[in-house]
Structure 1
Amino acid sequence: MTTSLAPGAAPERRAARPGPPKQSPEQRRIARREGWSRRLPLLPALVFTIIVTQIPFLLTIIYSLQSWNLLRPDGTTFVWFQNFVDIFLDSTFRGAALNSVVITLACVLASLVLGTLFALLLDREFLGRGVVRTLLITPFLIMPAATSMLWSVSLLNPSFGLLNWVIGLFGAGPIDFTSQLPLFSVVMALVWQWTPFMMLLILAGLQAQPKDVLEAASIDGAGWGKTFLYVTLPQLRRYMELAVLLGAIYVVNTFDQIYLMTAGGPGTASANLPFYIYQRAFLGFDIGQAAAMGVVTVVATIIIATFALRLIFRSFDTKD
């Protein structure tokens, strides 16, 4: 049923929604005081974080705009963005950036696959599961320097390495992995170290999934493969995304394995961005270009991490 207004009649105004009650100045002061009382315990941590992270990064940006070589301390001048132009024209820098991408992708993907397989194994009841879980976690607890020496000396050494001994059982000759396959050697050591991290995150996702959904899938006649593909895997998506994000942030900063296993060689064949920055700063004494490389690396990492975090938060906001 519709009603019509007579000509010239003013339309009936809707009642305005009551807004929030206005606070008195005393109430606002009390609210501000309570807010500061909650924030004050976090203030020392915030100040420490700013001093440790933001001030050095600000100085790095300033250094990246200068032509500063420690062999010529009196020739320090501002060249603004010339260092950034030079490093992008540097083929070695582009090769190190490509190596960083290859090492990060290979390590994260291989660790994620192996970690998922081990998590599926540990999600089942069997005799000695606690011992197996402890043994699988152990590589993540070993220091990166010790991991590097273990792989380069005990496993990959062409004369007495365990891997070459296994290859020799099949009649193949010894392989100098760190010289002939430097990137592959570094990736193997990183995968061995980071697989337990991925395994723990995936195992947490497996143990957090509701059991009634799995029971319903079993009652409906779904086998193990279909249950994993259509029920378990979608629920593990968030945990996998988080594992990939955290793993990529840490692996892209790899330095110990490259320094101790291959020294970036042969030549610069296995050098990634952190190692190449080290070479330019402490071997080439070029602080300006090393700082510019550091700024580019940090900015690229922040962009990728921000994009990945948005995807993760979007998946958490989406209702299943």
Structure 2
Amino acid sequence: MTPKLFCSALGVLALLGGAITYVAHARATDATVATENAVPVVTGQPMRFDGQTLFFRNLADGPDSGKLAAVPVADPGAARRVGELHCDRFAAARGTAICLRLKAGSLPAMTDLIVLDANLRERHRETLPGTPSRARVSPDGRFVNWTLFVTGDSYAATGFSTRTGLYEVATGRLVKTIEELAVFVDGKRYFASDVNYWGITFAADGNRFYVTMASKGTTYLIEADYRAYRGTAIAENVECPSLSPDGRRIAYKQKVSTGVWRLAVLDLDTRQVNHPPDSRPVDDQPVWQGNNTLLYPLRNSSNTLDLWSVGLTTPAKLLVPQATSPSFG
């Protein structure tokens, strides 16, 4: 099947803007960060998953800007180790990582999807149409998933849509788009020509997952069973979901006005929505650190990005300056 499009042009442009701005802006500002914001960088050291490291995309000024970097989880202010791997989006879990890299000079845009092992060595690569938007690895390391923006669909009035897919690391099975997922809304199988998906997050068992589905101007949180390939809408106005490690809460972007979102947390048992104590606009898929803290990038005064953390009830704090796309490994 081919990917579909939001019926609302404003919705498309807002979502598209987030992804394309993320890649294009990050590329453009890699070497334009103010000198007074310089951070200590150590290069040439190998990086691997050890369970105690925070990985991120380095946006600090200098020749290593745009490359994968790492700091100890216990000391995020330490000098960052920077490797040679360049990723526009990165995610890792349980010895598996995914690196999305926009293919230079490709028209229409193409993205290299690179699956990595615990030593950050390449184990598989696919080249798919589109621009990097989101990336995640299931907690058990069995699946990598991604969202790309694509252009040129003949039925798309504005020319944009998203494509969300999965790759099974052990079997090599590639699902280029999840559009054949059977989805039920209000107890009825949902069919529409404008259905669009993005931002998958997996449960610890590697089978249950959550994803945003958009159609007819509404965004739904879909809870899905991978083996049954069936999903059910359980909430609305949920974008870029992120499941807590204990499986009890979904952190996400909640739309508050056109093109503006803030952090929100949905309790899956009570369906109650709460807001962490940071009301600044957020335009990314949050990452959990444990079950009570969220990581997310925010624009700074140098017009690049910083990584922030906030507790469910404790104030936000700057975690790593000039960094984005966080992941633990």
| Short-chain TM bin | under 0.3
TM-score (norm 2): 0.22
Higher strand share: 2
Output the TM-score relative to the length of structure 1: 0.22
User: Which structure has the larger Rg?
Assistant: 1
Between Structure 1 and Structure 2, the one with more helix by share is 1
